[in-house]
């Protein structure tokens, strides 16, 4: 942080929420680590990206549409919304797309929460975007700790709701733990909320849950006006770099989000890519297979090394090091980095003793385990 005394008056006059804002901590990039350690081959298992890359049909469609990039997209990207709605079994009027689901999180907070009056509620730890965008707006952000085993006590969360709780964020499956509450529990919680309080269920990883129907409450969208479901193209559809996500909600709420959203935040390439990604069902199925197989294999290997992997419904595993291990989680993270394996330390989530590894392709998972074995030896 810069010394505020030395900042020009212009900068000192910025909003206090901005002056002490701590930006999002992203996973390290392959290029950074390649350069830092002079490595040829670097494997990134830090940001829960798709282990199979970009869907082949998306690559083909992008090549065919790149010549149209000089045109503005349609502001409400109707073809994409229709494709999403069809895939999700909802009416297109319920869908709002954004520059990643991050944008939808941001707009939801801004359309509902009034600074100085309202609060936003989530579990602790949680995906940092809920807190960051609340803070940026100047809205109080409240957190209720998850249980020691990372499960949710939704009664405790309900107890923290008051008349000024504008939104509650629940991530299912959770990041960083991989835990997902059963749909029946979440439904009971959803029905207990005041109808003016928006429940946002962030289902960024829901495709990886088995079976999905036991965990998702998106079939309640027609029944609960205050329910919002978030999904993203960044994980199961392999488009993290193109930035595309969406929310499903009551059509009247969706209408207001469209009114305030920047008109072209979803670009022309992202729209084409999203439509093609939904069509490429082969890629989708292959992704699920790779993640499910890799998840089981990695969990078994981690256990065999004496680590404690947490049960997970997502495309990543949170784990702790073997008991009595002389190395800290941060040491292990750094030793893996030197060897060209990037995983995620969880200090920024308030979990200094845990590590998170994304499910990669088979050879990436193998390389991670081989290197971890050597580091722990």
Ligand X SMILES: *Cc1c(COP(=O)(O)O)cnc(C)c1O
Residue 27 binding ligand X, by CB under 6 A: no
Among the listed residues 77, 134, 171, 315, the single contact to ligand X using CB under 6 A:
171
Per-position x/- string for 69-108, each x denoting binding to ligand X as judged by CB under 6 A, each - no binding: -------------------------------xxx------
3-state secondary structure of 271: helix
Task: List the one residue out of 20, 8, 49, 95 whose CA is nearest residue 358.
Answer: 49
Residue 274 binding ligand X, by CB under 6 A: no
CB 158 to ligand X: min, Å: 21
Residue 133 binding ligand X, by CB under 6 A: no
Name the strand (E) or helix (H) holding 18.
Answer: helix 16-19
Comparing CB distances to ligand X, the nearer of 134 and 371 is 134
3-state secondary structure of 168: strand
3-state secondary structure of 158: helix
Among the listed residues 50, 134, 143, 175, the single contact to ligand X using CB under 6 A:
175
Structure tokens that stand for 220 in this block: 């309640």
Which residues from 204-233 bind ligand X, rule CB under 6 A?
204, 232
Residue 245 binding ligand X, by CB under 6 A: yes
Strands 341-342 and 43-44: parallel
Which residues from 31-50 bind ligand X, rule CB under 6 A?
48
Residue 127 binding ligand X, by CB under 6 A: yes
Residue with tokens 């292959």: 286
CB 141 to ligand X: min, Å: 16
Dump the DSSP string for 67-83: GGTTSPPPTT-HHHHHH
Which residues from 188-207 bind ligand X, rule CB under 6 A?
202, 204
Residue 287 binding ligand X, by CB under 6 A: no
Distance between CA atoms of 66 and 314, rounded to whole angstroms? 33
Comparing CB distances to ligand X, the nearer of 204 and 269 is 204
Residue 240 binding ligand X, by CB under 6 A: yes
Structure tokens that stand for 121 in this block: 């509620």
Distance between CA atoms of 8 and 27, rounded to whole angstroms? 32
Structure tokens that stand for 79 in this block: 């073809």
Binding site for ligand X (CB under 6 A): 48, 100-102, 127, 171, 175, 202, 204, 232, 234, 240, 245
């Amino acid at each position: 942080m810069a010394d505020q005394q030395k900042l020009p008056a212009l900068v000192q006059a910025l909003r206090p929420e901005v002056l002490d804002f701590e930006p999002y901590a992203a996973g390290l990039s392959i290029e950074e680590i390649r350069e830092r350690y002079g490595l040829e081959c670097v494997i990134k298992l830090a940001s829960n990206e798709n282990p199979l890359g970009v869907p082949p049909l998306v690559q083909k469609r992008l090549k065919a549409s790149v010549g149209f990039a000089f045109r503005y997209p349609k502001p409400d990207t109707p073809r994409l919304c229709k494709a999403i709605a069809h895939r999700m079994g909802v009416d297109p009027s319920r869908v709002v797309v954004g520059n990643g689901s991050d944008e939808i999180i941001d707009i939801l907070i801004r359309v509902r929460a009034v600074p100085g009056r309202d609060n936003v509620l989530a579990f602790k730890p949680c995906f940092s975007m809920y807190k960051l965008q609340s803070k940026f707006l100047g809205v109080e952000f409240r957190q209720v700790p998850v249980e020691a085993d990372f499960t949710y006590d939704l009664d405790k969360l309900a107890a923290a709701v008051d008349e000024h709780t504008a939104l509650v964020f629940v991530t299912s499956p959770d990041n960083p733990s991989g835990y997902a509450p059963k749909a029946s529990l979440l439904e009971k919680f959803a029905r207990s909320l005041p109808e003016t309080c928006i429940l946002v269920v962030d289902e960024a990883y829901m495709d990886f849950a088995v079976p999905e129907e036991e965990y998702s409450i998106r079939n309640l969208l027609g029944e609960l006006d205050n329910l919002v479901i978030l999904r993203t193209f960044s994980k199961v559809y392999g488009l993290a770099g193109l930035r595309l996500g969406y929310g499903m909600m009551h059509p009247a709420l969706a209408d207001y989000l469209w009114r305030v959203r920047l008109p072209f935040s979803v670009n022309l390439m992202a729209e084409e890519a999203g439509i093609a990604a939904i069509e490429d069902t082969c890629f989708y199925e292959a992704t699920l297979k790779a993640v499910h197989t890799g998840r089981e294999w990695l969990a078994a290997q981690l256990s065999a090394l004496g680590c404690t992997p947490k049960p997970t419904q997502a495309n990543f595993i949170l784990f702790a090091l073997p008991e009595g291990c002389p190395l800290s989680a941060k040491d292990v993270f750094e030793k893996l980095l030197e060897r060209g394996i990037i995983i995620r330390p969880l200090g920024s989530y308030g979990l200094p003793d845990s590590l998170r590894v994304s499910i990669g392709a088979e050879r990436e998972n193998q390389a991670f385990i081989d290197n971890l074995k050597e580091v722990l030896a």
